[in-house]
Amino acid sequence: MPRMGPSFAETPMTAAIGSTGTGGRVVSSPRAAWLRVEGHWQWYRRHWHATVFSGIAQPVLFLVAMGIGFGSQVEPSTATRGMSYLVYLAPALLVTGALQNAVGESTYPVLSGFKWQKDYLAVVATPITPGQLLAGQLIWVAMLVSGNGLAYLLIASLFGALAGPGVLLSLLVAVLTAMACSAPIMALSASINNDVNVFNGLFRFVVMPMTLFAGTFFPVTQLPGWAQPVVWLTPLWHGTELSRGAAFGELGLWPAAGHLAYLAGLFTIGVLLARWRFRRRLVV
């Protein structure tokens, strides 16, 4: 080893660096995606507190304000399936919260990977491919949303808002609904460059109206006839139907299969679109 001055002589890497052949290797696709999740976990360890409000506190605040506060004025009826308004609302807010959480994680943070921080460019300079990067991104959002959903359920149980153990099935439904939205929105985020107004429009004109009118707070049968088919197109309606069904144990097989097929279909199309857009953006 050549001696190269005092500051460098104490560096042990001199012998290790270079064409030693001890370097990188290609890992399998599931492993590659998981390594990306590991990277997110490193971020989460330092910055988890930044995610608590949007992921946990927000749905809990809605549960308190609407479920307990407003709900104190609501008599149990057929509209609430005979339950207290709080219990009626809790499984739907689980889905709504998960969906909003996932949409948030799939917009600015994803665009930043391409555009501002550009860390996606760093990832695909390694053996990791754009598709594996996307998979890691999706798995991470699913894990984050699951964890936040579980925290929400624990808090909701303290308020006596949970009907029974069926809500654990509701949690799976919430994650599926969230991912059915996350995947196509990641495709969108990979496709825009300067026009972040698209995100504002998405929140204002899609997510917000969906939250208000797609069955979270009141049955869609209360809407005018023309509006109901519009609601049927929203993933949130399918998610809340499934979630309440699972929580209250009163969902028929065929409706459940229909809702699941819709959400799974949206997720699949979203993943295919996102894979195509990620590749187009990163391999040019």
Partner 1 sequence: MTGGGRVLDGALVRAGGLVKRFGDFEAVRGIDVDVRRGEAFGFLGPNGAGKSSTMRMIACVSPRSGGELSVLGMDPDRDGPRIRARLGVVPQQDNLDVELTVRQNLHVYGRYFGLSRARVRAKADELMVFAQLSDRAGDEVEPLSGGMKRRLTIARSLVNDPELLLLDEPTTGLDPQARHLLWDKLFRLKQQGVTLIVTTHYMDEAEQLCDRLVVMDDGRIAAEGSPTELIKRYSTREVLELRFSPGEQEDAQQRGIAELADRVEVLPDRLLLYTDDGEVALEAVHGRGVRPASSLVRRSTLEDVFLRLTGRTLVD
Binding footprint of partner 1 on the chain (CB under 8 A): 2, 4, 7-8, 10-14, 16-27, 31-32, 35-36, 38-39, 42-43, 46-47, 117-119, 121-129, 282-284
* Residue 258 host element (H or E): helix 253-282
Name the residue nearer to partner 1 (CB basis): 50 or 154: 50
Q: Which residues contact 160 (CB under 8 A, 6 or more apart)?
A: 86, 87
Per-residue tokens: 231: 């609601």
Task: Name the residue nearer to partner 1 (CB basis): 44 or 70.
Answer: 44
- Compare residues 81 and 115 and give the one whose CB is closer to partner 1: 115
- What's the token pair of residue 137? 């991104």
φ and ψ at residue 127, rounded to 5 degrees? -65, -10
CB of 198 to partner 1, least distance (A): 23
Per the CB < 8 A criterion, the answer to whether 90 and 63 are in contact is yes
CB of 91 to partner 1, least distance (A): 34
Number of Cβ within 10 Å of residue 64's Cβ equals: 17
- Output the smallest distance, CB 272 to partner 1, in A: 21
Minimum distance between the CB of residue 6 and partner 1, rounded to whole angstroms? 13
Least distance from C-beta 56 to partner 1, angstroms? 20
Rg of the chain on CA atoms, in Å? 23
- Nearest by Cα to 147 from 239, 235, 55, 30: 55
Closer to partner 1 by Cβ: residue 31 or 204: 31
Give the nearer residue to partner 1 in terms of CB position, either 34 or 70: 34
